[in-house]
């Protein structure tokens, strides 16, 4: 097992190296509640969201990553990677839940709960 307990109830799970995610790109991690999308910006920052656009459930991991946003591949909704919410005119129409993500020694650690 490569899950380690950091806080009560949250299991930090190693899902891969930061460099496994292409710059300005994303990768998917399947989970019991659906895919999780892990994004890496041009600046190298990483974010994790549930891979479902708040608009019509499009897979955000398949969109174009620009600045700190991703454009959903289905209808072009622009989602802020830090909050999972729409930006600009798309704001206030739901959000893609944020998944806790930490980087430890270049590894991506997703925050999970037992279930």
Partner 1 sequence: MTQQASKQRLVVIGNGMAGCRVVEDILKRDPGRYEITIFGAEPRVNYNRIMLSPVLAGEKAFDDIVINDEAWYRDNAITLHSGRAVTAIDRASKTVTAQGGLVVPYDRLILASGSDPVRLPLPGADLAGVVTFRDLDDVDQMVAAADAGGAAVVIGGGLLGLEAAYGLAKRGMKATVVHLMDVLMERQLDSAAGFLLTEALAQRGVETVLSAQSEAILGEDGRVSGLKLSDGRVLPCSILVMAVGIRPNTALAKASGIGVARGVVVDDQMRTDDPDIYAVGECAEHRGVAYGLVAPIWDMCKTLAAALTGDDASAYGGSMLSTRLKVSGVDVFSAGAFAGGEGCEDIVFRDAGRGVYKRVVLENGKVAGAVLFGDAADGGWYFDLMRQGADVSGIRETLIFGQAITEGLSGLDPSAAVAAMSDDQEVCGCNGVCKGQITGAITAQGLTTLDAVRGVTKASASCGSCTPLVEKLLKLTLGDGFQVQTGPAPMCKCTSHTHDVVRRAILDGGLKSMPAIHQALEWTTPDGCASCRPALNYYLICAWPGDYQDDKQSRFINERVHANIQKDGTYSVVPRMWGGMTTPDELRAIADVADKFAIPAVKVTGGQRIDLLGVKKDDLPAVWADLNAAGMVSGHAYAKGLRTVKTCVGSDWCRFGTQDSTGLGMRLEKFMWGSWTPAKVKLAVSGCPRNCAEATCKDVGVICVDSGYEIHVGGAAGLHIRGTEILTKVATEEEAMWTICALVQLYREEGWYLERIYKWMDRVGLDSIKAALADPEDRRALYDRFAYSQRFSRIDPWAERVAGRHTEEFNPLSRRLEFEPA
Residues that bind partner 1 (CB under 8 A): 3, 9-11, 13, 15-16, 20-25, 27-33, 35-36, 38, 41-45, 48, 50, 56-59, 62-69, 71, 73-74, 76, 78, 80, 82-83, 97, 99-100, 108, 110-115
Which of 13, 40, 22, 42 is CA-nearest to residue 104?
A: 13
- Nearest distance, CB of residue 111 and partner 1, angstroms: 4
Nearer to partner 1 by C-beta: 19 or 93? 19
Nearer to partner 1 by C-beta: 56 or 91? 56
Which of 22, 59, 39 is CA-nearest to residue 110?
A: 39
Spatial distance between the Cα atoms of 40 and 20, rounded to a whole number of angstroms:
10
Residues facing residue 69 across a β-bridge: 66, 80
């Amino acid at each position: 097992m490569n899950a380690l307990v950091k806080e009560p109830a949250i299991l930090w799970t190693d899902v891969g190296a930061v460099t496994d995610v292409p710059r300005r790109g994303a990768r998917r991690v399947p989970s019991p509640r659906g895919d999780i999308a892990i994004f890496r910006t041009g600046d190298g920052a990483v974010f994790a969201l549930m891979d479902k656009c708040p608009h019509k459930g499009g897979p955000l991991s398949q969109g174009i990553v620009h600045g700190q946003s991703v454009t959903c591949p289905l209808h072009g909704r622009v989602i802020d990677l830090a909050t999972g919410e729409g930006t600009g005119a798309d704001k206030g129409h739901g959000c893609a839940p944020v998944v806790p993500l930490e980087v430890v020694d270049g590894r991506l650690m997703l925050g999970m709960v037992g279930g």
